[in-house]
């Protein structure tokens, strides 16, 4: 069966510090991968998605970036965090057949 | 453009009462439809999905949803809720044969009171 991991689970970072969140998927190959952000009391905002290694599509202009160095690894990064980057970050994977997505447990990021 | 509207941001109900969470979608082409549940500080879990075929879809935890093409709706129902159903519920759609992306509604917070 497929499993998706995210780490860390929680993170408190000062404004201006760098960020690296990691997501890995097990039990499948060539998945579509997604990064979402969920701000307090709000819905899900798609940040990036990837249909293959090195292929990244950005949905929202911001100071975040994403990379996919391996087939089942998706990384969300920032060089300098802003207060507005605080939120709950969710990684998801989907089969290449374009159906449902499966979500990881999330990372709670607080920028102070 | 595709969009999903969840008509109620909060729904309070008493335990063992029935509940309906409403979802309407807008798309110029056929769509796949999904309901997800999110418990506090957790990721989203797929409850059920409509891809094709029977318009009544049954999911996990006793939930079901009905696809209504003429009303462009996909409402989620449960005949008798439990305290443990307290969570946020998200409706989502995906264009058939189109983008790999899901379009989510803003969510409905279901609170089940004793």
Per-residue confidence (pLDDT) for residue A98, from 0 to 100: 61
For A49-98, write each residue's pLDDT tens digit: 999 998 999 888 678 999 999 999 999 999 999 999 999 999 999 987 66
Average pLDDT over residues B61-79: 96
SS3 B15: coil
Cβ contacts of B41 on chain A, cutoff 8 Å: 88, 106, 108
First to last CA, chain A: 38
Residue B2 has pLDDT above 90, yes or no: no
Q: Quick one: DSSP state of residue A88?
A: E
Structure tokens that stand for B45 in this block: 């879990």
Residues in chain B: 114
Residue B105 has pLDDT above 90, yes or no: yes
Residue B10 has pLDDT above 80, yes or no: yes
Contact B100 A94 (CB under 8 A): yes
> How far apart, in whole angstroms, are the C-alpha atoms of residue A14 and residue B28?
45
Residue A41: CB atoms within 10 Å: 10
Query: Are the C-beta atoms of B94 and B3 separated by less than 8 Å?
Result: no
Q: Residue B83 — φ and ψ, nearest 5°?
A: -55, -40
SS3 B62: helix
Per-residue confidence (pLDDT) for residue A97, from 0 to 100: 63
CA distance A48 to chain B (A): 10
Query: Are the C-beta atoms of B47 and B90 separated by less than 8 Å?
Result: no
Residue B66 has pLDDT above 70, yes or no: yes
B107 to chain A, any CB pair closer than 8 A? The answer is yes
Contact B42 A32 (CB under 8 A): no
Per-residue confidence (pLDDT) for residue A61, from 0 to 100: 66
Residue A42: CB atoms within 10 Å: 12
Matching residue, tokens 């202009």: A61
């Amino acid at each position: 069966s497929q499993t998706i991991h995210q780490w860390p689970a929680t993170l408190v970072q000062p404004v201006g510090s760098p960020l690296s969140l990691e997501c890995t998927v097990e039990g499948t190959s060539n998945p579509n991968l997604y990064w979402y952000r969920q701000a307090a009391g709000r819905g899900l905002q798609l940040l990036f998605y990837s249909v293959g290694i090195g292929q990244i599509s950005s949905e929202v202009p911001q100071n975040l970036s994403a990379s996919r160095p391996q087939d089942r690894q998706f990384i969300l990064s920032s060089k300098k965090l802003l207060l507005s980057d605080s939120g709950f970050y969710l990684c998801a994977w989907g089969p290449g057949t374009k159906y449902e997505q499966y979500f990881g447990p999330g990372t709670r990021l607080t920028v102070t | 453009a595709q969009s999903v509207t969840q008509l109620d941001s909060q729904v309070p109900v008493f335990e063992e009462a029935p509940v309906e969470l409403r979802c309407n979608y807008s798309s110029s082409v056929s769509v796949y439809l999904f309901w997800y549940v999110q418990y506090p500080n957790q990721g989203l879990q797929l409850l059920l999905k409509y891809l094709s075929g029977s318009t009544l879809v049954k999911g996990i935890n006793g939930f079901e949803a009905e696809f209504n093409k003429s009303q462009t709706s996909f409402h989620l129902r449960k005949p008798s809720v439990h305290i443990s159903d307290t969570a946020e519920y998200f409706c989502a759609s995906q264009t058939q044969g189109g983008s790999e992306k899901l379009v989510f509604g803003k969510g409905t917070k279901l609170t089940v009171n004793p």
